[in-house]
Amino acid sequence: MISIKKKLSRYLSISVSILLVSIFLLTDIAVDTWISGEFDRAMVNKVGLLTTLVSEDTHEIDFDFADEFMPEFSGVNDPEYFQLWLDNKIFERSKTLELFDINELPKVELGKKHSLITDITLPDGRSGKMLFTKFKPQIDSDVREDNGIAIAQFSKEQKTMELAYAISTEGLNQILWFVDIIFIFTSITAIIAVRIIVFNVVERGLKPIEQLNRELKQINLNSEVSKINTNNLPEELITIAHGINHFISENKVLYSREKRITSDIAHELKTPIAELLNLSEVAIKFPHEKQLSESFKVDVLAITERLRNIVNGILLLQKSTNKATLEKQPVDLEILFSSVIVMENKANRAINFNFDKTCGMVNTNDFALTTVLSNLINNALYYSPSSTPITINVEPYSDNNQVMIQITNTCEHDYSESDLALFFEPLWQKDSSRTSGERYGLGLAIVKSYSENISADLNVVMSKEKEITFTIIL
């Protein structure tokens, strides 16, 4: 099972940790590079200082070096080394080289380079770095002036000297290792801290979802709580909460509707069943009653027919609510209306049928549309006075090749807006006592379901003249 908390914590921890470790690594590399650069720069400065101590005049080259000012070249504690060459011969070297058997620094081929820094093993066995460079000794300006020699001329005659300066890198390596250890420790600490912080933040961030879940568990179709309180929810969950509240309200309406339908079905079936029981009891009690025996079969048949009509109506309603896609085909509306009117108008009532010839064919399901029109025309004939006509209008609607069908009849009752809203509810009847033995309140519910299945718009309005009009737009 996938856990949002674990997955989110893992991804955030890994992402932030990689970012921090990358920053620390780049910082460590930058610090190591800077420290190494400063170390090399210090070597260059020390070599520059030593070269300034070498001077030349017309007679000789002098190296003005004093051990007391640079004890690192004469002591045994962390010694440093230098060596000067002139004409490939040792010109001068530090006293620290005399302390060991290996008392010379190696020469390096520079090629076209002026100087070069290399890694070496020092005479004392430690690892170190050596800077090897070539230079020409400096010339005192007084000497040139006294002898009248130009700088260019004198420099042509000067001999190039070589200088090697070596120093231990153990201190440098210790510093670099210390920086690396700090980097490793900081990275591990940061990863652990990020993991703990991210887990706690994610856990706190998901608490509203847990609270939402607790509230959902308290809601059921029979409870008084019908919606989730959104006052304390974060804005990311408010939309979800609204969707859940809508779903809950829709289900409560459907649940109430199903309870009412179940009660109505039981009520509709109870009466004929009770009549059958009564007839059976009377027939058993008075078996020789001639009048009773003559009407018994007819009465049973009538009651059974009524039960069959109720069951068929319920089954047809169930079939109409099935959301399976209905196959569509071209249907001739004029022929369809003619056959439906003939089938339903058995009493030869006056029906004003106005049909626009441009509405000849529509692409729909023949059975569904026939069922819708049969129920609407039958409903209009039954609930209107026999002396009043039924009006049926079929005409084009808008510019989208749609057809509008209107079926109008005069009502004996005055229906309110709330009554009109309940017209399409299953088993709803205006007469709360349900005294009708022929109508069960299923016809308009079937009309509504099949209209939705064939994507037809259905509505009903009532005029002040007590005329009710059902409109279907195909």
What is the domain-level CATH number for residue 393? 3.30.565.10
Mean pLDDT computed over every residue of the chain? 81
271 and 365, same domain (yes or no): no
> How far is 299 from 277, CA to CA, in rounded Å?
12
Residue-wise over 231-267: b if at least 16 C-beta within 10 A, else e? eebeeebeeebeebbeebeeebeeeeeeeebeebbee
- What pLDDT, on the 0 to 100 scale, is given for residue 83? 93
Q: Are residues 469 and 347 in the same domain?
A: yes
Considering the domain architecture, whether residues 249 and 271 belong to the same structural domain is answered as: yes
Confidence at 34, pLDDT banded by 50, 70, 90: very high
Same domain, 305 and 390: no
- How many degrees, rounded to 5, is the angle at CA 420 between CA 453 and CA 363? 25
In the chain, the percentage of residues whose pLDDT exceeds 70 is 83
How many domains does the chain fold into?
3
Query: Which residues neighbour 210 within 8 Å (Cβ) at sequence distance 6 or greater?
Result: none
Domain boundary among 296, 318, 340: 318
199 in any annotated domain: no
The domain containing residue 403 runs over which residues? 325-473
Please give the pLDDT value at position 420.
79
Residue 414 lies in a domain: yes
Residue 286 domain flag: yes
Does one domain contain both 64 and 145?
Answer: yes
Q: Which pLDDT score is estimated for 433?
A: 46
Whether residues 80 and 18 fall in one domain: yes
- Chosen domain end from 177, 199, 222: 177
Least confident of 63-72, 82-91, 300-309: 300-309
- 34: in domain: yes
User: Is residue 193 assigned to a domain?
Assistant: no
Distance CA 96, CA 65 (A): 14
Query: Do 162 and 24 share a structural domain?
Result: yes
The answer to the question of residue 86 being in a domain is yes
- Residues 255 and 357 placed together within one structural domain of the fold: no
Domain boundary among 299, 318, 337: 318
**Full-model pTM:** 0.52
Residue 88 is assigned to a structural domain of this protein:
yes
